[in-house]
Structure 1
Amino acid sequence: MRDMPDETRADPAAATAKARQRHAGRAVTRAVAGWIAVRRRRLRAGELGSLPVTLVLAAVWIIFQCINSTFLSPRNLSNLSVDIVGTGLIAVGIVFVLLLGELDLSVGSISGLAAAVFAVLNVNNGVPEWLALIAAVLTGTAAGTVQGYSVARTRVPAFVVTLAGLLTWNGLMLAILGTSGTVNLDENGLIAHLTSYYFTNAAVAYAVAALATALVFLASYLDRRRRRAVGMPHRPLHTIGVRTGVVAVIAFASAYLLNQFQGLPLALLIFLTVVAGLDIMLRRTPYGRQVYALGSSIEAARRASLSVTGVQTAVLAVSGTLAATGGLFLASRITSVSQNSGSGVLLLNAIAAAVIGGTSLFGGRGTTWSAVLGILVIQSIASGMALTDTPTAVQLVITGGVLFAAVVIDSLSRHTQQAHGRA
């Protein structure tokens, strides 16, 4: 007892608290060091993950913020969070198709067709909005299912079948719209509110951030427990804690920024909910594992008695459904549907978003969150160009350059993984 510091003898509780703090600090240090070691090992093996697109997104934000100080303002970030939703949903559907090593060229036409179906049913024929909405989404599902079944049964590459679909669905959209060519939507209707409604109560955004953080921790913890029960490698608890902390910082910072303008946009909430739900479906269900299996080797999947026809049909159906949903959000943003709906650079932006976000063109690698990161990059470039009055031509050149870099990185990453026996 003589060797103990005076403050320790005087207050054992304080000494215990300091010891706990030191232990917690060491745990965090070990977690960070372990994460860095894992990332280094994966980078050497060619598993880049979301690192390249994250660096590109950070560079884009820093550059445009230096050029125009309003780029990272709450108003612009709030508008950006709504602008990404329509094309982002279409890009998520593209991710499903790319996981099979295929390409869907019809998503732009399907999005325009679904918007036209809704507009004609609701505005021209007085069908209730909710019923017209369901009919529009099911139109996309049906179109995707037809294309998926055709690909699976004929074994014709998906890009050929969907190229024919691009022309077919676009022609059908023009026929549905008729001679008027443009239908204006009700600015006070359900569809218009998809992109114009905000949760102005600040508590809503913070509650969503807290819920998202809790769900991330719960999912990671349950995954750890399941892996540990069967003797598989699993993340230590302190690593899960650090990952959850990072998510919490991002979520609550986003909630704070959004609350500085008009609050949490309904469109963003729907978008992130869909992305998270589909991510769980891909990574946690037998269907999702079959999608990855087909993307890795369709012949091996056939020999393993997987339902190749069913999976391919379902993937194109998902793509068509998300294309239709994205088309409705795009129509909501401008409250009208015209003969130009679903055309222009929409298809290219959707494909570029999926690829830039990290989804491999060779199949078998990618997540739904890839589309979120990719569309953030593309829309951030568009937003920055608009603020700086830069010509659209320059925007297309820059986006094309980013896409080319993403494809090169994907190819080099695949070669590195093959060299390490991981592909």
Structure 2
Amino acid sequence: MSFADRADERLVQDTSPKALLGNLSRRLRSGDLGMIPVIVGLVVIWIVFYAMNPRFLSSRNLVELSLDSATIGMISVGIVLVLLLGEIDLSVGSVSGLSGSILAVLLVYQGWPLLGSILAALCAGLLIGVFYGVLYTRFGVPSFVITLAGLLAFLGAQLQVLGSNGTVNLPGDSALIDFANFTFLPPWLSYVLAGVVGLAYLLARVRTIRRRSAANLSTPGLQSVVVKAVLITAAVAGVAWYLNIDRGIGAMPLLWVGVIIGMDFLLRRTTWGRHVFSVGGNEEASRRAGIGVDRVYISVFALCSMFAAFGGVLAAGRLQAVSQTSGGTDTNLMAIAAAVIGGTSLFGGRGSVYSALFGMLVLQSITSGLNLVGVDAYVRYMVTGAVLLLAVTIDSLSRQARKSSGSG
């Protein structure tokens, strides 16, 4: 049978190992780097710090690393979304601090139930994002200016919400504290999760095979799909086994990864997601194609601020308190740097939500590794800045390579 996408002999693909390596080489030369730089960088960082201190790759340290990554990593998910549009949000740290303060004050001083306090904090973030989106779409104010003003304004609002006390300690028996610090999957459930992940991949690929076959398009072999599903299951089970040597897979990191998977599905498999990539790639062409560009901008700014609020809520649970410094220090730096280091382009239209995962792991690995070898804090900032500069340079060079090759 002749498949529609292989009717032209120029589309026939050679699947030999030599051909696959050649295709990979051509992709790299054309600037289509994908997640390769950040994954290579993460492996190098782990090898270097393990050589300097073997405790770096201990199960205990990796569990702590995953817990510490989830709070700012959740904020970085929203940053990825705005970067896909070629915009920026400089206020995510202040929004996260304000949202955490709203949660703490409602829960401790106003006697609200935990769920109601969390929803109020998330709604505050959502409304802030909608406000940003309206300012951007209706009045044309640059996102840099809007969010820079928001950084200052919501920092002041945070101080006002906290009042003269400055610090609010969450109740010691709070379910949020337990969730953020002490809730881990039982070992048996973590292995069941590994099986579910592999099965989900298999079912998704089988569905794709059926749809492509019905459209008379070429399909990957079922055997290769099964092999990949088995390998994915084994990899997740291996990670679970190693983390279970200490405490296991934390509920908060698992929630973070689940949000990333869900957002990746929305971006890749829904009309809204395709519109986000389209607007980020070429706003005017998207407008002429009938896409509601303003709605896309408003929805993305709203989600970004809501994820910032979500990160603030998780940080409150992780630290068991909210203070005037919550959301400050390097929260903005880490959230934005994670998205960029993870591979999301600053120029819009290219990237993946998984950038928040891998980029945050890189930054948190640097922090954890430098702490283990006993260097001063200023070195961490210098190293983080150097890694961020390197990531932006790679992004710029790959963009130039894509232009010269005519691929983007």
State the partner residue of 2:207: 222
In structure 2, stretches of 5+ residues that fail to align are 1-14
* 1:160-181 Cα deviation digits (max 9, x unpaired): 1111111111111111000111
Measured in 2, the distance between the counterparts of 1:236 and 1:38 equals 19
Measured in 1, the distance between the counterparts of 2:262 and 2:296 equals 18
Shift of 1:406: 0.7
Shift of 1:329: 1.1
Farther-moved stretch of structure 1 (112-121 vs 184-193): 184-193
Correspondence 1:334 to 2:303? no
Measured in 2, the distance between the counterparts of 1:234 and 1:361 equals 34
Measured in 2, the distance between the counterparts of 1:97 and 1:231 equals 37
Q: In 2, are the aligned partners of 1:74 and 1:261 still within 8 Å (CA)?
A: yes
RMSD between superposed Cα atoms in Å? 1.8
State the partner residue of 2:292: 307
State the partner residue of 1:137: 122
> SS of the counterpart of 1:366?
coil
Measured in 2, the distance between the counterparts of 1:149 and 1:173 equals 23
Shift of 1:194: 2.4
Q: How does 1:144-183 map to 2 (within 5 A)?
A: 144-183=129-168
State the partner residue of 1:187: 172
Measured in 2, the distance between the counterparts of 1:336 and 1:384 equals 26
Shift of 1:228: 4.1
In structure 1, stretches of 5+ residues that fail to align are 1-29
* 1:404 to 1:85, Cα distance in 2 relative to 1, 3 A: same
Equivalent residue for 2:39, pick from 54, 61, 68: 54
What percent identity do the matched residue pairs reach? 42
Measured in 2, the distance between the counterparts of 1:231 and 1:157 equals 47
Measured in 2, the distance between the counterparts of 1:38 and 1:245 equals 25
> SS of the counterpart of 2:380?
helix
* 1:240 to 1:113, Cα distance in 2 relative to 1, 3 A: same
Equivalent residue for 1:398, pick from 371, 377, 383: 383
Q: How does 1:173-322 map to 2 (within 5 A)?
A: 173-199=158-184, 201-231=186-216, 234-322=219-307
Shift of 1:70: 0.7
Measured in 2, the distance between the counterparts of 1:159 and 1:232 equals 45
Measured in 2, the distance between the counterparts of 1:202 and 1:86 equals 24
Shift of 1:65: 0.5
Q: How does 1:119-130 map to 2 (within 5 A)?
A: 119-130=104-115
> SS of the counterpart of 1:102?
coil
* 1:221 to 1:39, Cα distance in 2 relative to 1, 3 A: farther
Q: In 1, are the aligned partners of 2:185 and 2:251 still within 8 Å (CA)?
A: no
Q: In 1, are the aligned partners of 2:60 and 2:246 still within 8 Å (CA)?
A: yes
Measured in 1, the distance between the counterparts of 2:397 and 2:216 equals 33
TM-score normalised over the length of structure 1: 0.90
Measured in 2, the distance between the counterparts of 1:421 and 1:355 equals 23
State the partner residue of 1:407: 392
State the partner residue of 1:365: 350
Correspondence 1:325 to 2:324? no
* 1:252 to 1:143, Cα distance in 2 relative to 1, 3 A: same
Shift of 1:41: 3.1
* 1:228 to 1:45, Cα distance in 2 relative to 1, 3 A: farther
State the partner residue of 1:7: none
Farther-moved stretch of structure 1 (230-239 vs 128-137): 230-239
State the partner residue of 2:52: 67
Measured in 1, the distance between the counterparts of 2:120 and 2:342 equals 31
> SS of the counterpart of 1:337?
strand
Measured in 2, the distance between the counterparts of 1:62 and 1:197 equals 29
Shift of 1:242: 4.8
State the partner residue of 1:45: 30
* 1:410 to 1:288, Cα distance in 2 relative to 1, 3 A: same
Equivalent residue for 1:116, pick from 101, 104, 110: 101
Measured in 1, the distance between the counterparts of 2:221 and 2:402 equals 26
**Based on CA coordinates, which of the two structures has the bigger radius of gyration?**
1
